Structure 1
Amino acid sequence: MISAGGGSWRVIAIVLTLIVPLTLFGSIILMSPSPSIFVGGSFGEDCASAASAADASQTAASDIPADYLRIYKKVGQEIGVQWNVLAAIGKRETDHGRSQLPGVSSGTNYAGAAGPMQFLISTWGGKSKIKIRPGINGYASDGDGDGYGDVYDPADAILGAAKMLKRNGAPDDLPRAIFVYNRATWYVDQVLEIAKRYAATGEIGVPSDADPACDGGYVDSATSEVVQKILEYALAQRGKPYRWGGTGPDAFDCSGIIYMAYRNAGLSIPRTTFGQWPFGVQVRAGNEQPGDLVFFNAGPNNGPGRPGHVGMVVSKGKMIEARCTLCGPIKVTGYTDRPNIVGFTRPLENADVLAQLKRAIT
């Protein structure tokens, strides 16, 4: 988004390449030219160690208002993005809503941005406060449950910011996600540096469900050994790039990772999204299980009954997907707030798959 600090971000970017900022909203920020990003621990690290990155540092506790800190953590956990990155954006944009500059608590700034997270009104939905309804455009969100997306309400604005980060690469590809939020490399560096200072570990950290050390939560909830094998293979591909037509081992497309995950369990299913959609038995929304497929109207050659994108359910509301070349690496994402869901299917109940399973047993 556009900062409430005034002046074009392009002008600010030029200035900041010449002068290293010493303060940011009154807090000392020691900038590093290339901040390191912690995206998970070694393969021997356990989930408890990864989760410790979610703790707030003394700097965070003293600098972030208690109500904002609670919202950052709650929304970060719900959406699956780093709470401290959300907080760092809130700090960089408006000092967690405390800035008195235009566009923070009312109106807009020179660029048309508003609220504590500085959303452009055009990306919020066209108005500063709108009723939330299915199919709404923009990032307007209802974080406090009143049915409205209010760009000046911290709960609504922070939820919208989390969704924007998630859609653009978080939690895995943070530089890309933050750059989309405000297209300046100096802005990315500042946000990452602040996020590190807000974490008790001094590192960016990852949500637990994005850390390879925490795969057990998905795999252990599988309904059978076959589903476990499917999930194990799919989850092991996280961090690899999308490639159209890819079936590994270095890159995959959306249906390729699913095709190979089923092959890992000794099962043969169609290779393409168009073949996978009619193959599985359709499942009512809400009854989907790990290993089921979720389809979307997205991608080329879509049409009625011909969805162009597919992900694999790993838990209720979560899927693993290889989305697109510019969408960042393969990762676990949420599907409940994604538009254009066509439906869910269960390949394991297809007659051919049942026969394959029976032959494997005998």
Structure 2
Amino acid sequence: MTPRRLLLAGALGVAALLFVGLAFVPLMFGAGQFLFSGGVGGNCVNVSEAGAQPAAANDAKAVPVTYLALYQAAGKKYGIPWNVLAGIGKVETDHGRSTQPGVSSGENYAGAGGPMQFLAATFKAFAVDGNKDGKKDRYDPADAIPSAAAYLKHNGAPSRMKTAIFQYNHSWDYVDLVLDWAKRYVGGDFKIVQANGIDCADNELPANVGELVKKMIAFALAQRGKPYVFGANGPDAWDCSSLVQAAYRQVGLNIPRTTFEQWPFGVKVGKGKEQPGDLVFFNSGPGTGADNPGHVGMVIGKGKMIVASCSSCVPAIGVKSYKRSDWVGVTRPLARPDFKKKVSDLAVQQPAD
């Protein structure tokens, strides 16, 4: 197969309408119901077993022993079913046994090389020193196989496995062939996860989150499935800063529109002390820096944020980890004195039970 990889690679609009005017609704309105029954989580996909490692079947005996061990080790480390890695290795080079150009040395006509058929630039971006020998060699299966696992992970595996395999080689016939081999290696009883919607675990909030923060997060979660458009202000599309601005606006709190304005607006919080509803900032995008971050998301908890990432990201708006290398810092708008007073005033407006 000829790899054609890139280097780096249903809408819930009605839910947004449910939250219009929440600034004027008593704060104890049942946001928890929206989060934990129906609503956002109604069509979620359980991906908890997406990275499970199935047992090898008889057909796996045809895989060279050294390659089988490498597939299984990389699968376990990166949470990718090992048999999918084996399927890719089989389709690409018959587990390194192909005599075609670009397998043991050199490149094929598309510029791919090694047992997992990496383009040089792609391998450079995702290379893993699997055998800890101080080198990253795309012709060495000990490096190439875990690098393939890392690349699949980057592209959405294991929760969006078909998407990740398609990114490996832009052909749906290729995807089907890889998965056919993956099934054979484990005796046929194997189903991958292709979660194009919402991960059920992403709807969970830590205990003791206040109703006001629940409402903000619930609004932001309800925007999943909508596109990222730079400069958009909703309700059909958002960018990173307009999404968090709108989430705060739902509870009657106004924060600035752009990331550059939002960064100095909230009270700075040390990393590791962030709470749900806090804003997390990143040194990402043109004109940004460690003291001038250009990307923002909102903390949900457990190391995750709800964020409008980019137009080509999958998902464009979704729940992702904020513990990244470009993470600059955290702010807490709710700790501002004027916001504290506003929250108190809103709480007073609540009718007695």
Give TM-score scaled by structure 2 length. 0.65
Over alpha carbons, which structure has the higher Rg?
2
Partner deviation per Cα, 1:237-280 (whole Å, 9 max, x = no partner): 22221122334333211112212222344433222212211112
Q: Does 1:243 align with 2:229?
A: yes
Letter in 2 for 1:119: F
Q: Taking structure 1 as reference, are residues 296 and 53 closer, same or farther at Cα in structure 2, changes over 3 Å only?
A: closer
RMSD of equivalent CA atoms: 4.3
Which sections of structure 1, spanning at least 5 residues, go unmatched? 4-8, 11-41, 126-137
- Please list, as runs of the form range in 1=range in 2, the aligned pairs for 1:1-362 lying within 5 A after superposition: 3=3, 43=42, 47=46, 50-55=47-52, 62-63=59-60, 65=68, 67-76=70-79, 88-95=87-94, 104=103, 106-110=104-108, 111-125=110-124, 138-141=125-128, 149-151=136-138, 157-158=144-145, 160-165=147-152, 167-168=154-155, 177-184=164-171, 186-188=173-175, 190-191=177-178, 203-206=191-194, 211-216=198-203, 218-220=204-206, 223-302=209-288, 305-329=291-315, 330-338=317-325, 340-362=326-348
Q: Taking structure 1 as reference, are residues 325 and 358 closer, same or farther at Cα in structure 2, changes over 3 Å only?
A: same
Partner deviation per Cα, 1:185-224 (whole Å, 9 max, x = no partner): 54355446666778987543158x97442234x4135744
**Separation in 1, partners of 2:84, 2:342:** 46
Q: Taking structure 1 as reference, are residues 166 and 53 closer, same or farther at Cα in structure 2, changes over 3 Å only?
A: closer
**Separation in 2, partners of 1:239, 1:176:** 16
**Separation in 2, partners of 1:286, 1:144:** 33
Q: Taking structure 1 as reference, are residues 60 and 103 closer, same or farther at Cα in structure 2, changes over 3 Å only?
A: farther
**Separation in 1, partners of 2:133, 2:211:** 43
Greater CA drift, 166-175 or 234-243? 166-175
Q: Taking structure 1 as reference, are residues 102 and 309 closer, same or farther at Cα in structure 2, changes over 3 Å only?
A: same
**Separation in 2, partners of 1:319, 1:146:** 36
The Cα of 1:75 is off from its aligned counterpart by 0.7
**Separation in 2, partners of 1:300, 1:2:** 34
SS state at 2:236 partner: coil
C-alpha contact (below 8 Å) 1:195/1:204 kept by paired residues = no
**Separation in 1, partners of 2:295, 2:112:** 33
Q: Share of identical aligned residues, percent?
A: 50
**Separation in 2, partners of 1:168, 1:46:** 18
Using CA pairs under 8 Å that are at least 6 residues apart, name the structure with larger relative contact order, 1 or 2.
Answer: 2
Q: Tell me the residue number matched to 2:37.
A: none
Partner deviation per Cα, 1:86-129 (whole Å, 9 max, x = no partner): 5544443345556566655x53433554444332233333xxxx
Letter in 1 for 2:263: W
Q: Taking structure 1 as reference, are residues 239 and 300 closer, same or farther at Cα in structure 2, changes over 3 Å only?
A: same
Letter in 2 for 1:139: F
**Separation in 2, partners of 1:355, 1:145:** 56
SS state at 2:225 partner: coil
The Cα of 1:144 is off from its aligned counterpart by 6.8
Greater CA drift, 294-303 or 144-153? 144-153
Which sections of structure 2, spanning at least 5 residues, go unmatched? 6-40, 349-353
**Separation in 1, partners of 2:95, 2:300:** 34
